[in-house]
Homo-oligomer: A and B are copies of this chain.
């Protein structure tokens, strides 16, 4: 007698697919293309198709998937994705605040641990931290029920003329950039004067009232998210 199993919805891989779909879909929750997922996850496009079919066939389905038209998170998928994001951001905050990690190291550790902590761990570090609303990069931490203020920040690369803006958050995916920005003083809440823009997409900026001008590479500028200009 063979027991037929549902595709296991509790794996690290599944978590990562769901998180990537959430991130790439953006606040508008657009359909996400297989290729974009493949690139973000560092796997072959064929692997993505394969996984999406499994996720769509699960009980409950975690995504809505139509061949050639990209993928959307289902309610269950979104719930799980936000749960993982919540884990990630609570862990980052915990590593930074309680264990005194350097800011540029929190992401990698959180990326590993987010899949394995229990509800109890989640609850206990949240309490220890005093129920924080933000992680150290300036990202909102989803509530236990998955609710989270809508994100409306834009990358600094979208600022095309001289302007004064306020840093909302920093993308944590590249440790070297996180470290550079931290050292430069470009942190959530900082005021930034955009002095000019290079052909390559880089920016010249000053911080606060300082006259010193820093040049940011296109990648660094893209990692800086600012409050939307009026």
Contacts and interface: CB of A to CB of B under 8 A. Distances in A.
Interface of A: 95, 98-101, 105, 108-109, 112-113, 116-118, 120-121, 124-125, 128
Q: Is the interface of A mostly helix, strand, loop or mixed?
A: helix
A128 B99 contact: yes
Nearest to A100: B124
18 contacts: A95-B121, A98-B98, A98-B128, A99-B121, A99-B124, A99-B125, A99-B128, A100-B124, A101-B120, A105-B120, A108-B118, A109-B117, A109-B118, A109-B120, A109-B121, A113-B113, A113-B116, A113-B117
A101 B116 contact: no
A112 B119 CA distance: 13
Nearest to A99: B124
A99 B95 CA distance: 13
B112 A124 contact: no
A166 B69 CA distance: 69
Contacts of A116: 112-113, 116
A120 to B, nearest CB: 7
Nearest to A128: B99
A105 B120 CA distance: 9
